[in-house]
Amino acid sequence: MGTPREIVPPEAIAERVKALGRKIAEDYAGKDLVLVGILKGATFFLADLLRAIPMSVRYELVNVTKSGGGHYEVIELAFATRIHITGAHTLILKDICHSGVTENYLLTHLAQQQPASLEVVAMVNKPE
């Protein structure tokens, strides 16, 4: 394995997270906001974003595992915290969005709790 190469400078990532935090605070000012971090990839993104949002925000954690493949892929959810999002504006945090399968599954599952809104925020969008 060779030396890792820097694709995006850390300073650019930090500035983007700060800008995103300000935008989220502006969009959700005065509203009940919950961030749902998908483990383990979104852990640092979640922590950095929480620090960048200048308002009170709740957060929850979920572990998503996939097994199988093709038409028979199985997705399992294990909630690290008890997620209560009914009536709350909810943002699902993902480190890298590949195919969208995991995000769609989680959106469908969490929508059953009837949040006020439900969206996905990805650090990197990398469609296959």
Give per-residue pLDDT as tens, 18-65: 999 999 999 999 999 999 998 888 999 999 999 999 999 999 998 887
Residue 35 and residue 52 in contact, taking contact as beta carbons nearer than 8 Å = no
Rounded to whole angstroms, how far apart are CA atoms 31 and 12?
29
Answer whether 95's CB lies under 8 Å from 103's CB. no
CB distance 24 to 48 below 8 Å: no
- The CATH number given to 32-43+57-125 is 3.40.50.2020
Q: What is the pLDDT of residues 54-113, one digit of tens each?
A: 999 999 998 887 776 666 666 676 665 678 899 999 999 988 877 777 888 889 989 999
Q: Kindly list the domain boundaries of the chain, sorted by start residue.
A: 32-43+57-125
Say what the pTM is: 0.84
Least confident of 6-15, 25-34, 96-105, 117-126: 96-105
**Which amino acid, 29?**
A
